[in-house]
Chain A
Amino acid sequence: MATSAAQQAPTPGAGAPPAADDLPVVRLRHPWRWVSYGVIAVLAAMFLHSLVSNPNFGWDVVGEYLFSVRILDGLAKTLQLTAIAMLLGIVLGVALAVMRLSDNPALSRTSWLYIWFFRGTPVFVQLLFWGFISALYPSLSIGVPFGPSFFETETNALITPVVAAILGLGLNEAAYLAEIFRGGIQSIDRGQTEAAQALGMKRSRILRQIIMPQAMRVIVPPTANNTISMLKTTSLVSVLSFPELLYAAQLIYSVSFETIPLLITASIWYLVVTSVLTVGQYYIERHYSRSDRLEGLGRFGRLAALQRRRTVTDLGQDAR
């Protein structure tokens, strides 16, 4: 095809010496790049040297505690707390996003108010509130509004440090996720909803089958980002004396005074889990963009499809 195009196209400057058309390209050189490589290499070497030579890092202590039962137990609690708080955040966040987009002004304004409040105060303060909730409501009861109660219990028995941690993190996360989900839903072309409506689908089905699967492509990256952020925010829960990863490390160094090595130990685990989550994010994103990759055809099928498409176009032109 390329040759035929070249033959048909009138060659500009035809008749000039043939060598003049055959010009080699000299790529632009970047000498300052080499200088920057050099500077960064020196700085990196200095840092690595200090890692090895500075005894205050206490790598032997890190090695000692990295797989210790107390640290691993803290890690497990961190992972559980992250998972449960995110789950609560996702379920509540979807509900809030749908409420926010609802035609019902009572629902949409309630959602707005929730998001305004939980985004507007620091999550650390919210965690403290949940931790000290019994000072506000010493007992909780279920009954007729403003009337008699059937069941009453002490707040401290119900809102344990675990529950306070889950509520504090999950309710706060829901506000942020609600905005992410709303953005995702609104990013889908209105024509998708109209096409689905024209087929007789109802709103709930349109949201589930048509909008959400497409919105996921917009929703997944920031949600994964928030999950990674949540993993590290769980460390705030140490103020509620909940023995997650950081609190486990703090308990150890409060006795042994090996502060830096234990903070490094905790950091290593945060980095490891974040890396695993990043890989997971890659696969989830890939799953939701599968329609872009003409899946089900394979590489050769894809080539054939492209070729067929070209043939159809050519035939169409011939017909004219």
Chain B
Amino acid sequence: MTAAVQPMVEARNVHKSFGHLEVLKGVDLQVAPGEVMTLLGPSGSGKSTFLRLINHLETLTSGRLSVDGQLVGYREDRGRLHELREAEIARMRAQIGMVFQRFHLFPHMTVLQNVTCAPIGVKGESRDVAEQRAIALLDQVGLSDKVRAYPQSLSGGQQQRVAIARALAMQPKLMLFDEPTSALDPELVGEVLDAMRDLAASGMTMIVVTHEMGFAREVADSVVFMDGGVVVESGKPEQVLRDPQHERTRSFLSKVL
């Protein structure tokens, strides 16, 4: 987290509006390589929108957002941002893994096909190579016996672990998690958090939008609290969670803890 290292994600004065509704009002953030950052905040604070901007699922209104030194979705030319072509955007996204709240596994494919379809179709890997890595990844998240099952036959926790394996199969340099445990029954949250904890331990750069305070406290390197489209407070987990400086952070934490 020293200034000498190029940040994995860098946001400067990021604005995003949907019509007249301004959701992000100038967000500044830096995520170092290997850092695990959790984004906290009440619903409507803009944290999910910010996450979706990082792989260009939402388009920027203004500002500067780069991943690994490259602007996301745009090319800068004489002080303006020009939209990139679909192929270029797809190439950027292939390096960023994303896990969604509602899993979004492909229901017509088996677990193995879900995990191998992008490496084969997008990266042009051979079926053998892709399947070997897929099986290793599924083993890593504890699902090696579900290789031939269809998503529908799996529990929510199992589906989310497949979704993590599917994202990892592209060998991304950054992983985004959009409330990965919010759609799960309480008893299934642990297995998904365990998989994420292992991933964090392996050195992956991760940005996690979550309401799991335990995960934020134990796994995250940094915690960012957003409200009303701006970053209110950020820092080490023990500092932000134990001793919040802002009233808004204090009142949010008092409700969720």
Contact = CB atoms under 8 A, between A and B. Distances in A.
A284 to B, nearest CB: 14
Which of A200, A296, A309 gathers the greatest number of chain B CB atoms within 10 Å? A200
A305 B163 CA distance: 20
A313 B148 CA distance: 21
Contact of A195 (B96, B100, B110, B170): B100
B118 A202 contact: no
Interface stretch (B39-47, B85-93, B245-253): B85-93
Which of A189, A194, A291 gathers the greatest number of chain B CB atoms within 10 Å? A291
B117 A319 contact: no
A199 B155 contact: no
B100 A200 contact: no
A145 interface: no
A109 interface: no
A202 B86 contact: yes
Interface stretch (A36-44, A85-93, A206-214): A206-214
Interface string B226-253: 0000000000000000000000000000
Given A192-B104, A202-B87, A320 B187 contact: yes
A320 B57 CA distance: 37
Contacts, number: 104
A316 B104 contact: no
B18 to A, nearest CB: 15
Contact of B118 (A192, A199, A295): A199
A52 interface: no
A191 B100 contact: yes
B107 A291 contact: yes
B187 A200 contact: no
A292 interface: yes
B153 interface: yes
Contacts of A297: 148-149, 153
A7 interface: no
A312 B146 CA distance: 13
Contacts of B148: 296-297
B190 interface: yes
B105 to A, nearest CB: 8
Contacts of A292: 150, 152
Interface string A180-216: 0000000001011011111111110100011001100
A209 B117 contact: yes
Nearest to B154: A309
Nearest to A306: B153
Contacts of A197: 57, 90, 93
B155 A313 contact: yes
A313 B122 CA distance: 36
A288 B150 CA distance: 13
A313 B187 contact: yes
B180 interface: no
Contacts of B108: 213-214, 288, 291
A305 B90 contact: no
B150 A295 contact: yes
A198 B168 CA distance: 12
B121 interface: yes
Contact of A200 (B155, B170, B188): B170
A198 B107 contact: no
B157 to A, nearest CB: 8
Interface string A273-301: 00000000000000010011011110000
Interface string B100-139: 1010111111100000011001110000000000000000
Contacts of B55: 198
Contacts of A313: 155, 187-188
Contact of A209 (B94, B96, B121, B166): B121
B164 interface: no
A75 B96 CA distance: 57
B150 A202 contact: no
B11 interface: no
Which of A199, A296, A309 gathers the greatest number of chain B CB atoms within 10 Å? A199
Contact of B170 (A199, A291, A317): A199
B175 to A, nearest CB: 11
B14 interface: no
Interface of B: 55, 57, 86-87, 90-91, 93-98, 100, 102, 104-110, 117-118, 121-123, 148-155, 157-158, 163, 166-167, 170, 186-188, 190-191
Interface of A: 189, 191-192, 194-203, 205, 209-210, 213-214, 288, 291-292, 294-297, 302, 305, 309, 312-313, 316-317, 319-320
13 contacts: A194-B100, A195-B98, A195-B105, A195-B106, A196-B106, A197-B90, A198-B96, A292-B152, A294-B150, A295-B150, A297-B148, A305-B149, A313-B188
What 7 pairs across the A-B complex have the smallest Cβ distances?
A200-B94, A316-B187, A195-B104, A199-B118, A198-B98, A191-B104, A291-B150
